[in-house]
Amino acid sequence: MSWETEKGFSVVAKPMRIVHVITRLIVSGAQENTILSCEELCARGHEVYLFSGPTTGPEGSLVERASSGRYAYEEFVDLVRAISPLRDLRAMRALQRRFEQLRPDVVHTHSSKAGALGRIAAAQAGVPLIVHTIHGMSFNRTQLPHVRWAYALAERYCARRCHVIVSVADAMTRQAMAARIGRPDQYETIRSGIETETFDPRAAHRGEPPGGAIECTSHRLETGVTGWRRRWMIRDDEVLVGTVARLFANKGYEQLIEITALAVEQEPRLRFVWVGDGEGRGRYEAELSRRGLANRVTLTGLVRPEEMPGVLSAIDILAHASQWEGLPRAVVQAMLMERPAVSFAIDGAPEVVRPGQTGELVALGDVRGFAAALVGLARDPKRRAEYGRRGRELCLEAFDHRVMVDRLEKLYSHLLSTGRGP
């Protein structure tokens, strides 16, 4: 079977042995991307393995989904997120030994720690094709200068030990090249894939998103628009702003609290819902109470991935206040559900949030401008609907997980067939 890619080369599909490596399988964009890649590549007849470190923390886990897949899932006990020289060395050696045993055609790494250890181990094992995906830069504006410098130095070293660096957004390539990481011809932008067929606003409005009803403490609740809004006690005349992110520093909640205070002064119909969990929850709840905003903001805790279409259908606007990002997956999912977004103009956000078309952008840190954008959209339902329609059109094909895997498969096959080596 022959394919053509945007770069003009044709390839012939042959079964490949492919290993994906990631640090942990929490409920997050990079992890969902990786699992979708494994599932789809396996369905296409390739021999697929997924290696991960232990999955811990309050963010939720995708281990059950990975373990039940048709591909092979293996956990490496020393592959941990925190820097630990002894454990890192053990993890790298364990990965190298496994690569030498399996002799894969492709090793594809994800996330910072697995990306570093996995690439070095794969190079030492002589893997023919080593690929790394940048879901978000390991160094960013929230870190101290010496920390950014150290991470950038490590990324430069690792870039010389892989053949291709996949970026989920063009912004990631620009940032990496500005930091002198790798060569221009190493980079390929492949958008992070989403199961677009499950994000169907028509099904959600019928109250029939994938997964059906969910169990509540005392009753069953439909997962469509009406059910979620009733659960959160949102009236029909109120405008609901949703945020989907882990409750951690640098995810924008400090700014969002200030934005909420400013916005509700101007538009009393505004309500807010925060979807996610994390170690910062207690701190944020205390600050909301101190400011008298606790009755304006609902914290949902963890929501299962299959429930996200219903959750996003129930909001009116998505607020994305993260202080650093790759390409914001929650924004894409909201747009697939025909919901507009307001975001700080950083990293990959401008590639999907297009002012006057799919949402509004404001300068990083401009909480007054962010609040004004929310108020403006809250007062203009026609504009919200038009932005939502355009957003779905933009994201429907570009972020389909099958398109992502098409491009990955072609990339792997082309580079292997041309004998591109380390």
SS3 308: helix
In degrees, to the nearest 5, what angle opens at C-alpha 181 toward C-alphas 246 and 77?
Answer: 50
| 309 to 74, 104, 270, 315: CA distances (angstroms) | 30, 36, 21, 10
Measured between alpha carbons, how far is 322 from 326 in angstroms, rounded to an integer? 10
Q: pLDDT, tens digit, for every residue of 3-30?
A: 344 444 444 468 999 999 999 998 888 9
pLDDT category at 420 given cuts 50, 70, 90 is: low
What structural domains does the chain harbor?
A: 2-193+400-417 (3.40.50.2000), 196-398 (3.40.50.2000)
pLDDT category at 212 given cuts 50, 70, 90 is: very low
pLDDT of residue 216: 37
pLDDT category at 248 given cuts 50, 70, 90 is: confident
Q: pLDDT, tens digit, for every residue of 367-395?
A: 999 999 999 999 999 999 999 999 999 99
SS3 49: strand
pLDDT of residue 324: 80
pTM of the model: 0.85
Distance of CA 338 to the CA centre of its chain: 19
Measured between alpha carbons, how far is 91 from 51 in angstroms, rounded to an integer? 11
Residues 6+ apart with CB under 8 A from 188: 164, 165, 166, 167, 407, 411
Is the CB of residue 387 less than 8 Å from the CB of residue 340? Answer: yes
Distance of CA 188 to the CA centre of its chain: 18
Q: pLDDT, tens digit, for every residue of 281-309?
A: 999 999 999 999 999 999 999 888 889 99
> How crowded is the C-beta side of 93, counted as CA atoms within 13 Å?
6
